[in-house]
Structure 1
């Protein structure tokens, strides 16, 4: 099973400048991110308009080689969720159909992205695609060579299968032992990569939240995650996160808040590892003091573990509920 802390040669991203949805507001994040990727990493870029590549080169300069792929009708930036998982010479492809609060309104969209993502895999990755009959977002998996952590969202999204059957299916297709931990009720998305990431085969980075009332359930969840990691003999490193209590508008009317989703501002664990480099998100938090503390402290934490560190401002991206790890697909 491919692990993202292993040697990386390629990164696939989507450039949303001409997308027909609000994701185009995050184009500046993709531009800055590409400029921070080392030249030795092959950048493969999905575009919906062939003129966008020239615009991108005007912004970042022509020093970086980019392999473009024009995909008409593509308007998804969350490649981590929709591309699948590499296991040896195969790409294991789940069904991309996120069952969030508004999923019933978006069936045609997810069906289109599922079909187009297979075309992208065939063109850019060139691996045999094996379908796994699970509704499963890629952001709900972090793994080393032996274990794969995920939340119970995978059980909720596949009610026709028992938890036991889901676990056995994952073991068979991905050659890892699934560790399914509960999803706290207020986390609609249920992606574990918003809480933890493997730094090496035996070291797991886990978020450390401040002691605030709105984070109470998240802190309980994090303690359970740490217990599970220690039980498996993994070392844990706490990464300082400072989530902001702000929701994102959606079509769901179940709650009194404006939306069920939370912004991802303040989530530093959702970063990208490219060999000896970590690209960290940066945010503007509630005060200048908090902003400087969390942005600088997390850089120091990763530098202390021997990584080079680059940063990308993700304020405009966080309004969509994801960050850097959600954007990219590496191998």
Structure 2
């Protein structure tokens, strides 16, 4: 597919427009100026565009190959199928990196050719958010924060250790799937682990930070809320926490160091609040009734709503979740992929628990009542745990991780994987859907959104 010559007038794209839509919009605005430019400069720019054409075609073809359904059996992982999948992915990353280089080259050439015009359109289409707006899941990502699980453990209610070290292989695969233009800040337990990971080369932009006090991997829950200029940090003291209140408080205090890594100020929020119990589009805060229960001793619902409005600038939307859900985190039921579109869970007709279906149906209707669009994502919960009292998250897809135009999507070797990946690709037509098997992680009660923190 040969794109129009002025296709890549590349400013910073607003999140609700595709690259092509934005480029066409800019091309119409800039056509008069381009027509007055020197012929040799136009020739140079078109040469770069031709190379970009080739890169985008190569990327499209590789995506068609990479996202084909596979058996995902043990034999497949041990054989040529998995090897070819990994090889194709690394080739795709190299091509994508080359594309970023060409975009930078084009912008430099455009600046030289058109002077102030480039500076003008660099911000013309950008969706501006206040500097103090709470970060959304679909916002641009420069950094991804994770906790590496090796030697990380915490006690359950019986004092037996929950060993997250079983997830090391999963994390190594995850690091290899993160786009090369994103810096990964990885907290590790010891200096020895840090030195080894630095030498392995799991990601080209890996920054390893030693934190001897690491106790868990669920960074989303205790990191706080990123406001751009500062980090708002609630109290991590969930009543259902399997490690007990003392361990929860230790984890919460330890994670205060995150604001130093982010180079942001820290502002404490006097609410008991897990980060997984906030899903927002930048206007509404979808939180479960658990937030009101955890703070009932000191705050009424209206007072909590006022605090959320004051500290985060969001209007609170209370979500009723199933009574059987001990965590009651809304990120297990809804996520936003744009300011106006939410993915909301639904369940198969044969699903035994009618309360679950009633809750997500009510949630979807509430989102629509706010004038927002809803895409229902079929979930296939599997009761499969690995030593914790928290319900398994196996079969949960909505807890995906958005990294700019690349979406990392959990899979579980279930027949539903292929259908879900295809649905998400339709919702992200100009981006990439990258599957990763999350079965072992999900057995511990969380998935990709739960273990990550973006900046």
Q: TM-score, normalised by structure 2?
A: 0.66
CA RMSD across the alignment: 1.7
Higher relative contact order (CA 8 A, sep 6+): 1
Q: Residue 298 in 1 paired to residue 420 in 2?
A: yes
CA distance in 2, matches of 1:203, 1:182: 20
Rg larger in structure: 2
Could you tell me which of 349, 353, 356 is aligned with 1:218?
Answer: 356
Q: Residue 115 in 1 paired to residue 237 in 2?
A: no
Runs of 5+ in structure 2 lacking a partner? 1-133, 154-161
Q: How does 1:193-212 map to 2 (within 5 A)?
A: 193-212=331-350
Residue-by-residue CA offset, 1:4-56 (whole Å, 9 max, x unaligned): 20111110000011224411112222111111001110100000012223444
* Higher helix proportion: 2
Q: Residue 14 in 1 paired to residue 139 in 2?
A: no
Single out whichever of 86-95 and 199-208 deviates more from structure 2: 86-95
Retained in 2: the 8 A contact 1:18–1:52?
no
Retained in 1: the 8 A contact 2:144–2:454?
yes
Q: TM-score, normalised by structure 1?
A: 0.89
Aligned residues: 311
Retained in 2: the 8 A contact 1:207–1:239?
yes
CA distance in 2, matches of 1:276, 1:165: 38
* Higher strand proportion: 1
Retained in 1: the 8 A contact 2:341–2:372?
yes
CA distance in 2, matches of 1:309, 1:153: 32
Q: Residue 237 in 1 paired to residue 375 in 2?
A: yes
Retained in 1: the 8 A contact 2:387–2:444?
no
Retained in 2: the 8 A contact 1:209–1:215?
no
Q: How does 1:1-331 map to 2 (within 5 A)?
A: 1-20=134-153, 21-56=162-197, 61=201, 64-100=204-240, 102=242, 106-122=244-260, 124-160=261-297, 161-246=299-384, 249-250=387-388, 259=389, 261-284=390-413, 291=414, 293-305=415-427, 306=429, 307-331=431-455
CA distance in 1, matches of 2:220, 2:341: 21
Shift of 1:214: 3.0
CA 115–190 in structure 1, closer or farther in 2 if over 3 Å, else same: same
SS at structure 2 position matched to 1:224: helix
SS at structure 2 position matched to 1:270: coil
CA 101–131 in structure 1, closer or farther in 2 if over 3 Å, else same: closer
